[in-house]
Structure 1
Amino acid sequence: MRFDVVTLFPELFAPHLAVGITRRAFTSGLVDVRLWQLRDFADDTYRRIDDRPYGGGPGMVMLVEPLLRALDAVRAERGDVPVVHFTPTGRRLDQAVVQEFAAGPGAVLLCGRYEGIDQRFIDRRVTHEISLGDFVLSGGELPALALLDAVARLQYGVIPAPSHEQDSFGDGLLEGPSYSRPERLSLDGEELAVPAVLLSGHHGEISRWRRERSLERTARRRPDLIAAARAAGRLSRADERYLSALEL
C-alpha cells in the first residue's frame, strides 16, 4: 500500500510518521508514504503554484498546471490510483471510508492551501473529496495525516486485532469507558472505584458489560449510529432489550 502526498509542507509529515504505534506501519513499509513538494513542479523562477481568482475575491487559488505535473510524476511511478482532495465540501471521513482505503492500494493525497484548487483540476483528476467535518482548516495536511494514521492502525501486525475491533466505530458503535490502576481513587472528596464487574475475572460478564456501556454511550451521544447498526442487522436481541430499557 502506498500513499503519495502532494503538499507545500512535506516537513509536517516527518514527525508523525516516526512516532507512536503506527510508525510500525510506516517504517516497515506496510504503508509506504511518499512526499511530493508541489513547488518542484512550478515552471517559473519564483516557483509559483497559485494566482488570484477570476471574478475577484480574497486569497489565492492553486494553479492547475503544477498539480497536473505533480500527478503525472506520481502516475509515472505507480499508474492510475485514486486521487483524494481534502475539502469541507467532501464526504465526511468516517470508519467506513477508512476501511475502504485500508483494503485498497493507497491513493494520491492532495493537500490544498489558500482559497482552494482550481475547479477544473478537481473535475478532471480528483476521484474522492473528503472532509474531516463542518469546519475549515488552513490546509489539507491535517486531514491527510488523520487518514494515514487511521489506515495504518488497521494494517495487520500494527496493533493487536482486538484493540482496533473494540475501538469506537469498529463495529459501528462508540467505544465504552476504560479503567486502570488504582482500583480505588480519592478525587475531589469522593471515592471513585473501578466497576466491580471488571475485577470479577468473569469474561462473559465483562464482555456483556462493555457491550452495554458501548450501546448506552452511543444511544445517548450518537443515536444515528444506533439506527444505522439496527438497519444493518448488527444489533442482537439482547442489545435491543437493553436499549429498550434505557432511560434516555
Structure 2
Amino acid sequence: MKIDILSIFPEMFSGMLSESIIHKAIQKDIVNIQVTDFRRFAEGKHQVVDDYPYGGGAGMLLKAQPIFDAVEDVKQANIKPRIILMDPAGKPFNQKMAEEFAKEEQLIFICGHYEGYDERIREHLVTDEVSIGDYILTGGEIGAMAMTDSIVRLLPGALGNADSALFDSFSSGLLEHPHYTRPADFRGMKVPDVLLSGNHAKIEEWRNKESLRRTFLRRKDLLGTYHLSEKEEKWLLEIKEECEEGKR
C-alpha cells in the first residue's frame, strides 16, 4: 500500500514513522508512507496556501490550487486513490472504515488548518471526508496519524501475530474481552480459574461471554447493530440478571 499525507507541518509525522508497528511495516515494505508539504506547490514568491473567504467572515481558508497540484503530483499512475479530507464535518471514523481503507492501493490524506477549505476541494477532488471525533483540533495531522495507525496494523504481515487484528475491539462488532498475564495471583487479585484450566473450548466460551458483557456494560449502542446468536442471547439475559442482582 502507498499512503501519502499532505500537510504544511510534515515534521509532525517524524515520530510516527520511526517507531512501533508503522516503522516495522515500512521496513518490511508492507507500506510506503510519504509526507508532502503542500506549501511547496503554492504559486507565487511567498508560497501562500491560505486566503480570506469571499463574502467576509472570520478566519482563513486553504486555497484550492496548492492542494489540487499536490494531489496530482503524488497520485500513482493507473491507480484511483482514495483521497481523504480530514474534517470535523466528515463521517465518523470507525473500525469498519479502517478495514475498507486497508484494501486500497493508495490513500491520500489532506490535513487542513485555519478555518477550513475552499469548497471546490470537497466537491471536485476528495473521495471521502472523515472525522475522528466530535471535537476540534488545530489541524488534521493528529487525525491522519490515528487513521494511518489503525489502517496499517490491518495490512497482512504488519502485526507479529496475524490473528491479533481479528480479535480487536470493534472488529467482531463487540468490545474485546479482558486479558490477563503472569503472575496468576497479584496482591490477592487472581486470574479467573477458567483461563488456567487448559480447556480451550471453555476458555473461548468465557472470552466470548465476557466480550458480550463488556459491550453491554460499556457500549450498549454497539448491540443495536450486532446480530446475536441464540447462545449470545442466552448469555445476555444472564448478564442482565447478574447486573440486576448486583444492584440489590
TM-score by length of 2: 0.91
Q: Could you tell me how far apart the structure 1 residues matched to 2:90 and 2:80 are?
A: 21
- Spell out, residue by residue over 1:173-196, the C-alpha distance to the aligned partner (whole angstroms, 9 max, x if none): 10121112222222xxxx211111
Give the aligned partner of residue 201 of structure 2: 204
Give, as a single letter, the amino acid of the residue that structure 1 aligns with 2:175. Answer: L
Partners of 1:76 and 1:203 in 2: CA distance = 47
Q: Does the 8 Å CA contact 2:16/2:22 hold for their aligned counterparts? A: no
Cα pair distance change 1:15/1:77, threshold 3 Å: farther
Find the partner of 1:242 among 215, 224, 235: 235
Give the Cα separation in 2 of the matches to 1:128 and 1:116: 16
**Per-residue CA distance 1:86-134 (angstroms, 9 max, x = gap):** 1111111111100111111121110011111111121111110011011
Cα separation, 1, equivalents of 2:207 and 2:163: 13
Counting aligned pairs with the same residue, the percent is 38
1:166 paired residue number? 167
Cα distance in 1 between the residues matched to 2:206 and 2:38: 51
Q: Deviation digits for residues 197-228 of structure 1, max 9, x if unmatched?
A: 11111111111111111101111221221121
Instruction: Tell me if 1:216 matches 2:209.
Output: no
Number of the residue aligned with 1:56: 56
Q: Whole-Å Cα distance in 1 between the matches of residues 141 and 106 of structure 2? A: 16
Counterpart in the other structure of 1:144: 144
Root mean square deviation of aligned Cα: 1.5
SS of the aligned residue for 1:161 comes to coil
Structure 1 length as normaliser, TM-score? Answer: 0.91
CA distance in 2, matches of 1:62, 1:77: 26
| Alignment: residue pair count | 240
Partner letter of residue 226 of structure 2? A
Q: CA deviation at 1:77?
A: 5.0
- Structure 2 residue matching 1:87: 3-state secondary structure: strand
3-state SS of the aligned residue for 1:155? coil
Match of 1:180 in 2: 181
1:101 aligns with 2:98: no
User: Tell me, what secondary structure is at the counterpart of 2:222?
Assistant: helix
Equivalent-residue separation in structure 2 for 1:203 and 1:148 (angstroms): 35
How far is the alpha carbon of 1:78 from its aligned partner?
5.9
Distance 1:71 1:158 in 2: 26
Residues 79, 105 of structure 2: 8 Å contact kept: no
| 8 Å contact kept, 1:18–1:27 | no
The 1:149/1:137 distance shift into structure 2, 3 A limit, reads same
Distance 1:76 1:107, change over 3 A: closer
Task: Structure 1: give runs of 5+ residues left out of the alignment.
Answer: none
Distance 1:65 1:243 in 2: 55
Q: Whole-Å Cα distance in 2 between the matches of residues 130 and 76 of structure 1?
A: 22
Contact 1:26 1:152 in 2 (8 A): no
Gaps of 5+ in 2: 244-248
- Per-residue CA deviations over 1:114-158 (Å, capped at 9, x if unaligned) read 111111121111110011011111111111111111111111122
Offset of 1:56 from its aligned partner?
2.7
User: Matched residue of 2:5: which SS?
Assistant: strand
